[in-house]
Amino acid sequence: NAGVTQTPKFRVLKTGQSMTLLCAQDMNHEYMYWYRQDPGMGLRLIHYSVGEGTTAKGEVPDGYNVSRLKKQNFLLGLESAAPSQTSVYFCASSHDFPELAGVYEQYFGPGTRLTVT
Amino acid sequence: AQRVTQPEKLLSVFKGAPVELKCNYSYSGSPELFWYVQYSRQRLQLLLRHISRESIKGFTADLNKGETSFHLKKPFAQEEDSAMYYCALLGKGAQKLVFGQGTRLTINP
């Protein structure tokens, strides 16, 4: 099992450019998440999905869009990149029974380091 | 509102010394709490969950409902403990975790 994978690993964009980050998981998880990690701010949830075809806003959704056309994939899009979106982006997935805290766990990808100049 | 606060962004201790990473939470109910860790050049991973009452890599964490805290402790720090640590909360019926701001722990030789 590869677990959670992310592409690309690194990317440099100019202000105004667009791009899509891809997250894939092979654990048959229903839930998937996109976070950004910034120094001093910790992990902040951008968007998440509780199943194929569903998406929901997290804490910092502005400037991002997402799609979950297939259960195993969760795409994060930046339509017009801004320097404030320079960050490390993490994808995660989990099973769909969070009430079972004894086994609940989010599995994270390796991250994508994005720089917007 | 659900909130997790880690008051220390940076924590530095010497090898062999005790270490305590603080975590306070705000939640009206009984949450589930977790500690996640990110070692250098590795992905974020679960360290321990309070419901399991387990000790992982010598770390323990006790949920104190009166003080709404879930501090992570280890009696004797090791250099390999240097990492970024996140406290996280799962509310009842919630579909997502709420993370704290993280504490970067450095163990000095």
pLDDT at B41: 86
| pLDDT on residue A99 | 61
Answer yes or no: do A42 and B93 touch at CB < 8 A. Answer: no
Say if residue B94's pLDDT is above 90. Answer: no
User: Does position A89 have pLDDT exceeding 80, yes or no?
Assistant: yes
Neighboring chain A residues of B86 at a CB cutoff of 8 Å: 42-43
Window 19-48 of A: residues touching B by CB (8 A cutoff) are: 31, 33, 35, 40-45, 48
The set of residues, in sequence order, having a beta carbon less than 8 Å from that of A66 and lying 6+ positions away, is A34, A46, A47, A49, A55, A74, A75, A76, A77
Q: In whole angstroms, what is the distance from residue B91 CA to residue B31 CA?
A: 5
pLDDT confidence of residue A11: 96
Residue A102 has a pLDDT of 66
Annotate A47-92 with DSSP letters as a single string: EEESSTT--EE-SS-TT-EEE-SSTTEEEEEESS--GGG-EEEEEE
- The residue-averaged pLDDT of B14-40 equals 94
